[in-house]
Chains A and B, each alone.
Chain A
Amino acid sequence: MKLKKNVATSEAGFVFNPGTGDSFSVNQTGAEIISLLKENRSPEEVINLISSKFDAEQIQIEKDLDDFVSQLYIYNLLENQD
């Protein structure tokens, strides 16, 4: 569950995949998760770090992370996908 190395991201929530030419926008939580994935954090770490920063139950974050990562997969943004 690691973001592709060449994917460009910005703090403002802009994501660019030079491999496909696709651009994406993410909200604040999404941007936070993407930056943690770039740091190669494990899912548990991502959940803990998000829950320490945002006001949400860990179980909710776990469900949303699962869904968010499956979208990253669909958009071809994760390592070892090709």
Chain B
Amino acid sequence: MEKLKYERPVIRKMNTGLMNKFGSRIENEPVTQIDGIPVSSLIKKFGSPLFVISEKQLRSNIQNASRIFKTRYPKVQFAWSYKTNYLNAICRIFHQEGSWAEVVSGFEYQKALENNVPGNKIIFNGPDKSEDDLLIASRNNSLIHIDHLDELLTLIDLSDKHKLRPRVAVRINMDTGIYPKWDRFGFNLENGQASNAIARIMNDKNLQLVGLHCHIGTFILTPSAYSVAATKLCELARDVKVKYGRSIEYLDLGGGFPSTNKLKGIYMPGSDTVPSMDQFADAITNTLLGFGFRQDELPLLVLETGRALIDDAGFLLGTVLTNKRLSDGRRAIILDIGVNILFTSLWYDHKISPAQDSVQITEDMVLYGPLCMNIDMIRESVNMPVMEKGDQLVVHKVGAYNMTQWMQFITYRPNVVLIDTESNSHIIRKAENLNTLHSMEQLPEHLKNSGLK
């Protein structure tokens, strides 16, 4: 007798009451390939878990953003935010597309130089610049964005001692009507700190004030906040012109544009809630064009967009280790992807897709990572097809911050692979192994040759 087709036994409780007006949200469409390469082949060749970055998507993102801004405003310059993802291959793709470098530490500054970025196209932000950093940046004619008064006084002192003429901008923090108000970086506009810093610079014989900078926050969902910020920077630039007769060369609106990831606590997917790049461009460029600058004195608009240009170009592939039933009846799936490499799972509900065709029966489940830690949870509740040991999956929109904020903890950090525009795959950062970690450790003499007898 021919056997019947087997289907996993399922029991569902029947509920009465109103239906969810949004319908049940399911994420079960399989994603079996990335830029033409099967997920299974990538995992077989490079291991699991595995970060994959699509060069095609990266280039498309920066080209699209450039087009959106440059069709609205004549002078636009993007600067790649190194901290978002500073793998050299990624930085070089952005530099090839014309982006300058935006760095926030001596380490990132050195990386930019090694990526062949001319010194005068490096923007140096951040509160932690050593005297050596300031000297190198000054000598390279980089754009130094001064964050606090101590830094300003140090730079005045150094430029006097070393006969340098650093090109500087002042970082301004301000009230743009959004919460939280970022006021820990730079000089406050409303209480007069910013004007005082500008006066100090203008009264110095060496420092050249060339720009004004602000970075109003992160994952900003309100384009009008950028309009407020741009207006305030324009007013400040006009004040500088009136008071000191100096034209400000550029206004740097910083970063903060969101990606289409879904923040925790927001019900609708990011694609439905996040304003488009066009809306941000309208808010900023309409303000600049409408402010009343003379045509020949229109400032260069600098943008340090990071997350919005790379998040959707990054994927994290992983494998199911096991699935189990929790004591409260919920399904739990254990993955080989932990929060130590998927840092952004702390604030996003990442979209996760199975990487193979699966049964259509879905369940609410919790997705855990492999770490022996209770906090290691990738999704608290997601409706997906039940996956078995060995099944593969794809975590979407992981390009920003994960490959810089990840930590080596319990397991090694995995390979990062770039798929180029012709669908060839390249390792751009090798997976760690025991030697990687041991190469940084040293044993005191009395502990060498010791062990448990």
Contact surface of A with B, Cβ cutoff 8 Å: 15, 22-30, 32-33, 52-56, 60-61, 64-65, 67-68, 70-72, 74-75
B8 CB contacts on chain A under 8 angstroms = 29, 64
A54 CB contacts on chain B under 8 angstroms = 3-6
- Chain B 310-326, CB-CB to A under 8 Å as 1, else 0, gives 00000000000000110
B6 touches A22 (CB 8 A): no
B324 CB contacts on chain A under 8 angstroms = 67
From known contacts A71-B325, A74-B328, A74-B329, infer whether A28 and B12 are also in contact, taking CB-CB under 8 Å.
Answer: no
Of residues B3, B4, B9, B328, which shows the largest number of chain A Cβ atoms within 10 Å of its Cβ? B9
Interface residues of B in 357-371 (CB under 8 A from A): 361
B14 CB contacts on chain A under 8 angstroms = 22-25
B6 touches A55 (CB 8 A): yes
Interface majority SS (helix, strand, loop, mixed), chain B: loop
A60 CB contacts on chain B under 8 angstroms = 6
B4 touches A64 (CB 8 A): no
How many Å lie between the Cα of A64 and that of B361 in the bound state?
A: 14
How many Å lie between the Cα of A75 and that of B15 in the bound state?
A: 13
B328 CB contacts on chain A under 8 angstroms = 74
- A29-B6, A53-B3, A54-B5 given; name 6 further pairs at CB < 8 Å: A54-B3, A54-B4, A56-B6, A64-B9, A72-B11, A74-B329
| B9 interface neighbour in A22, A27, A75, Cβ under 8 Å | A27
How many Å lie between the Cα of A54 and that of B328 in the bound state?
A: 30
A29 touches B11 (CB 8 A): no
A65 CB contacts on chain B under 8 angstroms = 9
Complex A-B, nearest 6 residue pairs according to Cβ-Cβ distance, in ascending order: A74-B329, A56-B6, A30-B9, A55-B3, A54-B6, A29-B9
| A24 interface neighbour in B6, B7, B12, B361, Cβ under 8 Å | B12
In the assembled complex, 21 residue pairs joining A and B whose CB atoms fall closer than 8 Å, in A order, are: A23-B13, A24-B11, A24-B13, A26-B10, A29-B7, A29-B8, A29-B10, A54-B3, A54-B5, A55-B6, A56-B6, A64-B8, A64-B9, A67-B324, A68-B11, A70-B325, A70-B329, A71-B11, A74-B328, A75-B11, A75-B13
A30 touches B325 (CB 8 A): no
How many Å lie between the Cα of A22 and that of B12 in the bound state?
A: 11
B4 CB contacts on chain A under 8 angstroms = 28, 53-55
From known contacts A70-B325, A71-B325, infer whether A28 and B7 are also in contact, taking CB-CB under 8 Å.
Answer: yes
How many Å lie between the Cα of A30 and that of B9 in the bound state?
A: 4
User: Would you give the shortest CB distance from B9 to chain A, in whole angstroms?
Assistant: 4
Residue in chain B with minimal CB distance to A26 = B11
Residue in chain B with minimal CB distance to A29 = B9
B5 CB contacts on chain A under 8 angstroms = 54-55
Residue in chain B with minimal CB distance to A52 = B3
